[in-house]
Structures are given as structure tokens and as C-alpha cells.
Amino acid sequence: MGLVDDLAADTPVVEISRRKALGVLTAAAAGVAAAGTAVMAVRFMRPNVLFEPPSKFVVGRPDEIPIGSLVAMPKQKLYIVRGADGFYAMSATCTHLGCMTQHRAAEKRFICPCHGSSFDLQGNVLGGPAPRALDRRWLGIEDGMLVVDTRKPAPQGDVLRV
């Protein structure tokens, strides 16, 4: 392979008028500015700081919750259940369109007031438009306290043994 003398090679020359060249450059500059403005407008609308309660919080000491009981935490939209084999945390948010379910202790189920979905105490769908069981949330023991993270999912059927 020898060196190619590209200066000697024939390069096609495209002639465009000054007016056209300036027009294309202006349009390109305007396009870049418009795209940048659009991106920044969307970015501007995304808040960088949120004043929301932390997703991870302490529920209490595990022995404060007796076996076979359910703790409803409406502010955190969460249920903590202690079954015979251990604890699990379940989102109270209906899997249909995000309303908050209500615990009906007498009927041993959760009811969504918006469109009538119902779930059993394990969160499985009993009826209504809900497409899947209530989401499980991460639950753990830290420094002897029961801790939940509402943004961390947990697999269905997982139980925390204490």
C-alpha cells in the first residue's frame, strides 16, 4: 500500500450560492437552538429536589406486631402483615389505576373504592379490573427494628422470618 496523494485526486466541486449557503447555515443554527430549547424545557420541568417523605422508614420493633395481625399505614400506602411464618410488606396501591385499597378486616380482604377490585390478605386478586396481585415491598431488620423501603420491590410470596 502506497500513500495516496489526495490533493491530486479529483474532488467534485459543488457550487452553491452565497444566499443558499447562508440560508442553510441559518436554518441549521435555528434548528439546533430549537432542539436545545425543547430539551432544556423538558429538563427544566423535572424537579431536582423533591420534598417527599423518605421511601425507607422504621415500622417498629418486630415483637410489637403480634402473629396474625395486619398494620395498615395509609400515609405510606402500605400494609405490614405478620403471618404464622413471618412478615411481609405490601403496597396498598391498587394495581389497576393507583387508588388506595381499604382493609376490610371482617371480610378478610382489601377493596379498592375506585373501581371495585378486591384482593385477599396475600394480595392476590379476588375480583374486579386489577391485572395483578398487590405489589410486595422490601422488608428487613436493621438494628433490631423492622424497616421498609416502599421503592424497593420484593418477590411475591417472600416472607421475612424473625
Partner 1 sequence: MVSGEVFSTAARPGGFGRRVWRSIVRHGFPDTNRNRSLAVFSNLFLHVHPVKVRVEAIRFTRTFYLGGLAAALFVILTVTGVAVMFYYHPSVPRAYADVKDLEFVVTAGVILRNVHRWAAHAMVAAVFLHMARVFLAGAYRPPREFNWVLGVLLLVATVFLSYTGYLLPWDQLAYWAVTIGTSLAAAVPLVGGDISFLLLGGNQIDENTLLRFYVLHCVVLPLVLTGLFAVHLWRVRKDGGIYLPPEATGRATRVVDGEPTP
Chain residues binding partner 1 by CB under 8 A are 42, 45-47, 50-52, 97-99, 113-114
Q: Cell match 500500500: residue?
A: 1
The string over 53-87, giving b where at least 16 C-beta atoms fall within 10 Å of a residue's C-beta and e elsewhere, is eeeeeebeeeeebeeeebbbeeebbbbbbbeeeeb
CB of 148 to partner 1, least distance (A): 16
CB of 132 to partner 1, least distance (A): 13
Contact partners, residue 66, CB within 8 Å, separation at least 6 = 82
Measured from the CB atom, the residue of 98 and 153 that comes closer to partner 1 is: 98
DSSP state of 155: -
Distance CA 154, CA 162 (A): 17
Measured from the CB atom, the residue of 2 and 131 that comes closer to partner 1 is: 131
CB of 135 to partner 1, least distance (A): 13
Say if residues 89 and 141 touch (Cβ distance below 8 Å): no
Say if residues 29 and 37 touch (Cβ distance below 8 Å): no
Measured from the CB atom, the residue of 20 and 132 that comes closer to partner 1 is: 132
Measured from the CB atom, the residue of 65 and 134 that comes closer to partner 1 is: 134
CB of 60 to partner 1, least distance (A): 23
CB of 92 to partner 1, least distance (A): 12
Say if residues 91 and 156 touch (Cβ distance below 8 Å): no
Q: Supply φ then ψ for residue 20, to 5 degrees.
A: -70, -45
Measured from the CB atom, the residue of 14 and 45 that comes closer to partner 1 is: 45
